[in-house]
Amino acid sequence: MIIANNGENVYPEKIEDLLNRSPFIIESIVYGEKDVKHDEIIASQLVVDSEAFIYYVEKNNIKLTDDFINKVISDEIKKINKELASFKQVKKFYLREKEFEKTTTQKIKRHLVQINK
Protein backbone atom coordinates (compact mmCIF):
# COMPACT_ATOMS: atom_id res chain seq x y z
CA MET A 1 0.00 0.00 0.00
CA ILE A 2 1.33 3.43 -0.93
CA ILE A 3 0.21 6.74 0.59
CA ALA A 4 0.18 9.84 -1.62
CA ASN A 5 1.26 12.87 0.39
CA ASN A 6 2.07 16.19 -1.32
CA GLY A 7 2.92 14.40 -4.54
CA GLU A 8 5.30 12.04 -2.74
CA ASN A 9 4.81 8.31 -2.34
CA VAL A 10 5.12 7.10 1.23
CA TYR A 11 5.56 3.45 2.16
CA PRO A 12 4.02 2.84 5.59
CA GLU A 13 6.24 -0.10 6.56
CA LYS A 14 9.28 2.07 7.41
CA ILE A 15 7.19 4.34 9.61
CA GLU A 16 5.54 1.36 11.29
CA ASP A 17 8.97 -0.13 12.03
CA LEU A 18 10.03 3.10 13.75
CA LEU A 19 6.79 3.32 15.74
CA ASN A 20 7.02 -0.31 16.83
CA ARG A 21 10.49 0.29 18.29
CA SER A 22 9.01 2.56 20.94
CA PRO A 23 8.88 0.88 24.35
CA PHE A 24 5.30 2.12 24.75
CA ILE A 25 3.91 0.79 21.44
CA ILE A 26 3.21 -2.88 20.77
CA GLU A 27 2.15 -2.51 17.15
CA SER A 28 0.97 0.07 14.66
CA ILE A 29 -0.58 0.54 11.29
CA VAL A 30 0.12 3.62 9.17
CA TYR A 31 -2.19 4.87 6.44
CA GLY A 32 -3.24 7.96 4.56
CA GLU A 33 -6.13 10.01 5.87
CA LYS A 34 -7.88 12.55 3.66
CA ASP A 35 -6.92 16.13 4.36
CA VAL A 36 -8.18 19.49 3.11
CA LYS A 37 -4.71 20.92 2.38
CA HIS A 38 -2.99 17.77 1.13
CA ASP A 39 -3.92 14.62 -0.78
CA GLU A 40 -3.54 12.64 2.42
CA ILE A 41 -1.79 13.03 5.74
CA ILE A 42 0.01 10.26 7.54
CA ALA A 43 -2.12 8.78 10.31
CA SER A 44 -1.53 5.81 12.55
CA GLN A 45 -3.45 3.49 14.80
CA LEU A 46 -1.40 2.31 17.75
CA VAL A 47 -1.70 -0.44 20.30
CA VAL A 48 0.00 0.75 23.46
CA ASP A 49 1.92 -1.48 25.83
CA SER A 50 -0.04 -1.14 29.06
CA GLU A 51 2.57 -3.11 31.01
CA ALA A 52 5.26 -0.63 29.96
CA PHE A 53 3.07 2.25 31.12
CA ILE A 54 2.33 0.56 34.45
CA TYR A 55 6.03 -0.06 35.04
CA TYR A 56 6.90 3.53 34.10
CA VAL A 57 4.31 5.17 36.35
CA GLU A 58 5.12 2.93 39.30
CA LYS A 59 8.84 3.58 38.91
CA ASN A 60 8.32 7.36 38.66
CA ASN A 61 5.39 7.64 41.09
CA ILE A 62 3.09 9.17 38.46
CA LYS A 63 -0.66 8.77 38.13
CA LEU A 64 -1.69 6.82 35.02
CA THR A 65 -4.37 8.74 33.11
CA ASP A 66 -5.55 8.88 29.52
CA ASP A 67 -4.02 12.36 29.22
CA PHE A 68 -0.67 11.03 30.43
CA ILE A 69 -0.77 8.16 27.91
CA ASN A 70 -1.63 10.56 25.09
CA LYS A 71 1.21 12.89 26.06
CA VAL A 72 3.78 10.09 26.20
CA ILE A 73 2.66 8.71 22.83
CA SER A 74 2.65 12.22 21.35
CA ASP A 75 6.21 12.74 22.61
CA GLU A 76 7.27 9.38 21.15
CA ILE A 77 5.81 10.34 17.76
CA LYS A 78 7.62 13.70 17.87
CA LYS A 79 10.92 11.86 18.43
CA ILE A 80 10.18 9.46 15.58
CA ASN A 81 9.11 12.29 13.26
CA LYS A 82 12.56 13.86 13.68
CA GLU A 83 13.97 10.82 11.86
CA LEU A 84 11.57 11.22 8.92
CA ALA A 85 11.24 13.62 6.01
CA SER A 86 8.40 16.10 6.60
CA PHE A 87 6.09 14.40 4.09
CA LYS A 88 6.51 11.07 5.94
CA GLN A 89 5.77 12.39 9.42
CA VAL A 90 2.81 11.08 11.42
CA LYS A 91 0.31 13.91 11.82
CA LYS A 92 -2.51 12.07 13.63
CA PHE A 93 -2.68 9.01 15.82
CA TYR A 94 -5.44 6.95 17.33
CA LEU A 95 -5.05 4.55 20.23
CA ARG A 96 -6.57 1.09 20.11
CA GLU A 97 -7.64 -1.08 23.01
CA LYS A 98 -6.79 -4.42 21.44
CA GLU A 99 -4.22 -5.77 19.03
CA PHE A 100 -4.90 -6.03 15.31
CA GLU A 101 -6.21 -9.26 13.84
CA LYS A 102 -3.37 -11.21 12.24
CA THR A 103 -2.79 -13.78 9.52
CA THR A 104 -1.21 -17.14 10.33
CA THR A 105 2.18 -15.57 9.54
CA GLN A 106 1.49 -12.81 12.13
CA LYS A 107 0.98 -9.99 9.64
CA ILE A 108 -1.77 -7.47 10.34
CA LYS A 109 -4.90 -8.02 8.27
CA ARG A 110 -4.95 -4.46 6.94
CA HIS A 111 -8.17 -4.97 5.03
CA LEU A 112 -10.02 -5.55 8.32
CA VAL A 113 -8.77 -2.38 10.04
CA GLN A 114 -11.33 0.40 10.26
CA ILE A 115 -9.56 3.57 9.23
CA ASN A 116 -10.70 7.17 9.10
CA LYS A 117 -10.73 8.16 5.43
Q: Give 50-93 as a DSSP string.
A: HHHHHHHHHHHT----HHHHHHHHHHHHHHHHTTS-GGGSEEEE
Distance CA 29, CA 16 (A): 6
In this predicted structure, the answer to whether residue 6 has a pLDDT above a threshold of 80 is no
Q: Does domain 3-112 have CATH number 3.40.250.10?
A: no
Higher pLDDT, 117 or 102: 102
Average pLDDT over residues 15-40: 89
- In the predicted model, what is the mean pLDDT of the chain? 90
Share of the chain above pLDDT 70, in %: 97
* The predicted structure's pLDDT at residue 38: 64
Q: Please list the residues that pair with 27 across neighbouring strands.
A: 47
Stated pTM of the model = 0.85
In this predicted structure, the answer to whether residue 21 has a pLDDT above a threshold of 90 is yes
Domain ranges of the chain: 3-112
